[in-house]
A and B are shown apart, each in its own frame.
Chain A
């Protein structure tokens, strides 16, 4: 079973709209979460991390973590065409010293 599950697989939003991406972990060893973004032809780049319950805001991006349910989300306000990319949720396994990536959400921001 996939230990880090992302939904939806693909998401289309209009320019200026709000994009919401979800991620759920099935392992309580996964305490630290990262969101990465990968544009076509490039390597992933970290957007933000979230380690504590609640919201964390960085510009147009807000991450939310609920440790009890092991659910983390990413919300992109005022989406831009340049936000079109593959978004990965990544969880750090404190027992195995490794990061597990979800399968990703393809975000398409339509001009």
Chain B
């Protein structure tokens, strides 16, 4: 079936550094999402992105967070600067329409020291 890829699978950085998480969504999908999950618990919505713009973001999407998808390439989540509480697994997802099935990537485990 359709696959979403995420790079890297694991990232360890020092607090205050910048990190960019990369997502390669399903090729014909139009909606893109980032979620944050801590310790295999609740999947927390961060942001969704459509037609080059952020449509909706949660209160977890702090000012230090930004997303973009330049020229149809990777959909990225950048955190600058990182904080200890940013340690989590970040999942990217994509879908054809806003209410359609979301296809998730395998996640990037971010560890902030």
Contacts and interface: CB of A to CB of B under 8 A. Distances in A.
A104 B104 CA distance: 16
Interface in A90-107: 92, 94, 96-104
B98 interface: yes
Task: Tell me what chain B mostly uses at the interface: helix, strand, loop, or mixed.
Answer: strand
Nearest to B98: A97
Task: Tell me what chain A mostly uses at the interface: helix, strand, loop, or mixed.
Answer: strand
A103 B43 CA distance: 7
Nearest to A2: B42
B91 A99 contact: no
B12 interface: no
Contact of A43 (B4, B44, B56): B4
B62 to A, nearest CB: 17
Given A97-B48, A97-B98, A44 B43 contact: yes
Contacts of A61: none
Contacts of B93: 43
Interface string A75-111: 0000000000010100010101111111110000000
A97 B31 CA distance: 10
A103 B56 contact: no
Nearest to B95: A99
A44 B91 contact: yes
Contacts of B50: 97
Interface in A35-87: 38, 40-46, 49, 86
Nearest to A6: B42
B99 A92 contact: yes
29 contacts: A32-B99, A34-B102, A40-B40, A42-B106, A42-B107, A43-B4, A43-B93, A43-B104, A43-B105, A43-B106, A43-B107, A44-B43, A44-B91, A44-B104, A45-B104, A46-B101, A46-B102, A49-B101, A92-B99, A97-B48, A97-B50, A97-B55, A98-B45, A98-B98, A99-B33, A100-B45, A101-B35, A101-B45, A103-B42
